[in-house]
A and B are shown apart, each in its own frame.
Chain A
Amino acid sequence: MKIYRALTLTLTTLAATVLSACGGPEEHELLTYGMGTSVIIKVYADDFPAADKDALIKELRYQEAVFKKNDPADSTINYLLRDALRYQKATKGAFSPYLGALIDLWGFDSEDAAVSRKPPSDDQIRQALTQQKLNLYALAKGYTVDTLARKLERMGYKNYIVNAGGDLIAKGKKGNQPWRVDVRHPRFVHRTVGQLKVDGKLAVATSGDYQNYFVYENEWYHHLLDGRTGKPARKYQAVTVIADSVMEADAMATAIFVSNGVIDLTDKRDPAFMVTTQDYHQTMTPAFQKRFISNCPPNDPCVSRDDYAKYAEERDAKMNGTNDKK
């Protein structure tokens, strides 16, 4: 068996060397930052020249500028706003593109978003809800990922992944293998709950209460605000949606999350989404299930609250141990 393994390894190495010498396709990566998160672009191609990378970064910066300016007269802003208003109607106001003042009040767009602080008062929240300040970030990141994917297509790339902090599109394959896209556990940073099948193309986004939050007096305050109450929605840990575009997945994930699942999706033919509730109960639609390979037994999110408490305790002990050494 050892000889077989050694031979296999040698042949694999040889094959890789030959392919490389012939300039065969391989994986290339671009890491950059934008829309408040990391943006990782992977292509499987013969080459990924610097000029293409520069053009993609330029496109990313352009989109950032559009969303920073937030001009309702801009065609992109207008397009996103129309979609956002559909979700506002479908969720009876839980999802709203006009929560800019509220998000500013909570401080979730600030660089200090994670810093512990006293949450705003009910009066302050009521006041902010009366203001109609546009904020389209629930769709903007997904839209930007779609835009980068279109640019890759125009450049001639057929096999790629664009991943902006978990808002992701994957297309094609990595050589003979499919791209492998895992779904992380909303509470265990170091665990995944399963894998998504790319099947040619996958556009997916997750809204989670762990993505942008602060803790104050042991209470967890996250950025997914219900537009009716002005406060974080409390039913779910995470909502993951697969859709035709990442923008659609992004918007729908947020809308399902902030409405606590009370949403009219009758205009969606076969919605594909998975939700994990605060009590660790994981459910998914049949369309999502078709594309999901779970790490867990059916209807079992793999872990319980007790598991999580134990995990957190071990993690903290390790961290304290490290601090002691220093």
Chain B
Amino acid sequence: MLLGLLGGLTAGFGRLARGSEGTHAEVFVGNERVALLDLSRPHTYTIKGYIGAATVVVDAGKARVTQAPCSGKRCIHVGWLSRTGDASLCVPNRLMVKIAGVAENSADAIVG
């Protein structure tokens, strides 16, 4: 269990690249990367953002936000993230979960 490092809430969005399968999930709060989660190790993490705690579940090579103090819950609705560049963002909580890995062909940025 990784306990909350900072605080936050939501209006998030998710987006994703046509990257390859990721190896880990990076969790950012504010400007800081607060956690690096191994996607091969199923676990449930609680991460504290700017306005509250969010729950991030890792299971079978993918990760998703299952609970967040965001009003719109879009960061939850974006669902499972597994490919490099996939991300779930909660702006009010300043919390982002982003999939990373050893991927030669993943995008550096997504527009849209």
Contact = CB atoms under 8 A, between A and B. Distances in A.
Given A42-B109, A111-B9, A208-B112, 7 more contacts: A31-B31, A170-B109, A180-B106, A180-B109, A182-B110, A185-B112, A190-B83
Contacts of A315: 79
Interface in B86-112: 86, 89, 91-92, 94, 96, 105-112
A190 B15 CA distance: 6
Interface in A202-217: 204-206, 208, 211, 214
Contacts of A37: 89, 91
A236 B105 CA distance: 30
B45 interface: no
B35 interface: no
A38 to B, nearest CB: 5
A40 interface: yes
Given A111-B11, A184-B15, A190-B86, A40 B109 contact: yes
Given A170-B109, A183-B111, A238-B112, A319 B79 contact: yes
Given A114-B11, A182-B17, A322-B66, A240 B112 contact: yes
Interface string B32-46: 010000000000000
A204 B110 CA distance: 11
Nearest to B17: A182
B110 A30 contact: no
Contact of B111 (A42, A53, A196): A196
A163 interface: yes
A105 B50 CA distance: 27
Which 6 pairs across A and B sit closest by C-beta, in order of nearness? Answer: A114-B72, A184-B112, A182-B107, A206-B112, A166-B111, A163-B109
Max chain B Cβ within 10 angstroms of own Cβ: one of A40, A113, A161, A206 = A40
Contacts of B54: none
Interface residues of A, number: 53
Contact of B107 (A112, A180, A211, A238): A180
Contacts of B16: 184, 189-192
Given A190-B16, A319-B77, A181 B96 contact: no
Interface in A11-43: 30-33, 36-38, 40, 42
A189 B31 contact: no
A4 B30 CA distance: 43
Contacts of B96: 31, 38
Given A33-B30, A111-B71, A166 B107 contact: no
A166 B111 CA distance: 4
B109 A161 contact: yes
B29 to A, nearest CB: 10
B111 A182 contact: yes
Contact of B71 (A40, A112, A161, A170): A112
B17 A192 contact: yes
A161 B108 contact: yes
Given A38-B96, A190-B86, A318-B79, A30 B31 contact: yes
Contacts of A195: 107
Given A111-B71, A112-B71, A211-B13, A38 B89 contact: yes
Interface string A298-326: 00000000000000000100110011001
A111 B92 contact: yes
Contact of B18 (A31, A42, A191): A191
B87 to A, nearest CB: 8
Interface string B15-28: 11110000000001
